[in-house]
Amino acid sequence: MQVIATGGYAKILSQETSCIDKVDSWLTMTGLRLIWEMNQ
């Protein structure tokens, strides 16, 4: 299982722990964009 940190403080938090595998600060916005594009 991979742990993905999201949000504004994700990068800072990922530097403080070793359990985060990937940082994606824009994950929520990317998902919303994909949903919007599918509904066009």
DSSP string, 2-14: --EE-STTHHHHH
* pLDDT band at residue 15 using 50, 70 and 90 as cut-offs: very high
pLDDT digits (tens, 9 = 90+) for 25-38: 899 999 999 999 99
pLDDT digits (tens, 9 = 90+) for 2-14: 999 998 899 999 9
Q: Is the pTM of this model over 0.85?
A: no
Residue 31's domain comprises 4-38
Any idea of the CA torsion for 6, 8, 27, 13, to the nearest 10 degrees? -20
pLDDT (0 to 100) of residue 39: 97
> Into how many domains does the chain fold?
1
pLDDT (0 to 100) of residue 23: 96
What mean pLDDT comes out for the span 8-24?
Answer: 94
